[in-house]
Every structure is written in structure tokens, then in C-alpha cells.
Amino acid sequence: MILHTHPDNPNPRNIKTIVECLLDGGVIIYPTDTIYGIGCDILQHKAIERVARIKQTPVDKIHLSFICDSLSDLSKYTKSISTPLFRMLKDYLPGPYTFILQASKEVPKMLQSKKNTIGLRIPDNNIAQTIVKDLGHPILSSSLPGDMVEEYTDPELIYENFKNLVDIVVDGGIGGMIPSTVVDCTKDPYEIIRQGAGEFDFE
């Protein structure tokens, strides 16, 4: 199914359909403030395994991040955030960034890395934020598999490529081609792991 959803004022009925799909263990492709992502409910183990199969990568090897809707939501899934770190996150979020932080006990064991870290995002995208808010907890998210970058900007083409693998493609308009900037905040000083759409200043 492809669901056309207005980027500024998402149709509540469509959001309800998407949330029900996620709660039922479904897998979706949805817009963010950078590239389209593939996502599922962080509490649905079978859905997480489906994402891993689509990515053709073991769960513990996939680059996964939690899509949150606010800093308070984000803070549940990471260990105590210092005041300077909180101020920095507040400056950059919502935005095209993934911050790697120490995982808290709220992160399902299946998703805890050996380093006990988690990538956390708050995209500046109303559709993504509304889905997460209505779901009540984060979406587990990853980039689409393969290298068809240009095709991954057009929801209609994404649907043609993935209609047999996912339950819903959320059409929020043409997406970007550059992923988020990944910053590891567990290191001192912070380290840019991947330079993406967001500029990051260490000062």
C-alpha cells in the first residue's frame, strides 16, 4: 500500500493506519528530513528481523537508529545526559543528525550493541514526528538497502521497488539524497562518524 500524506498537515486517518500497521508488527518506508527510511516498532521483534532480512544484514550488524519525537522522548533511551550535552542536542534537534549516545535499560536487549550505544534522531519532519507521537515510542529506522539513490527520492519508485517487502510506503513528497550527519557523543571530543546533510560545529 502507498499512502499519500501531506507533509505539513498529515491526515489523521492515514497516521492511524500507519500506527496500527506498526503496532501489528508491520514494516514501513517513510519520509524524514533527509532520505526516506525503512522503519518498524522498536518493540516488535519479528518486524526488526524483517528489516534485517530486507537489508540482507544480521540485526546486530545493521546501522539502526531510534526516531524520537522530542528531547524528553530521546532522553528515555539514553543514560543520564549532562547539561552541556543536553544544550548541544537542543541546538541541533530537530534536524538532520543522528547522535550516538549510551543506551539506557529502556532499549530492548535485542537492539543493544556490544558498546551499549544507540543512534538517536529527531527528524525535522512532521510526518515522522506525528507517527512517533501517536505510536507512543520510537520507530526503529535504517536506510533503504542498495545503491539506487535517485530512485529512493521518489515515493512512487520506492513503492515499485519495495511493495512486496514492506506493508506501507508513506508518500510525503520527494525525499533527499543525503543522509543524516552521524555524531558519536560517547567520545571526548565528539567525533563525526559520517558527514551528511547537517553541518556540525564542535565549538
Q: Of 175, 176, 173, which is closest to residue 6 (Cα–Cα)?
A: 173
Chain segment 121-147, per-residue pLDDT in tens: 999 999 999 999 999 999 999 999 877
Q: What is the pTM of this model?
A: 0.91
**Is residue 203 situated within a structural domain?**
no
Phi and psi at residue 26, to the nearest 5°: -80, 165
**Is residue 201 situated within a structural domain?**
no
Q: Which structural domain range is residue 38 located in?
A: 2-194
pLDDT reported for residue 15: 95
Chain segment 40-58, per-residue pLDDT in tens: 999 999 999 999 999 888 7
User: Cα–chain-centroid distance for residue 170?
Assistant: 14
Could you tell me the CATH number of the domain that includes residue 114?
3.90.870.10
pLDDT reported for residue 163: 93
**Is residue 199 situated within a structural domain?**
no
d(CA 20, CA 166): 14
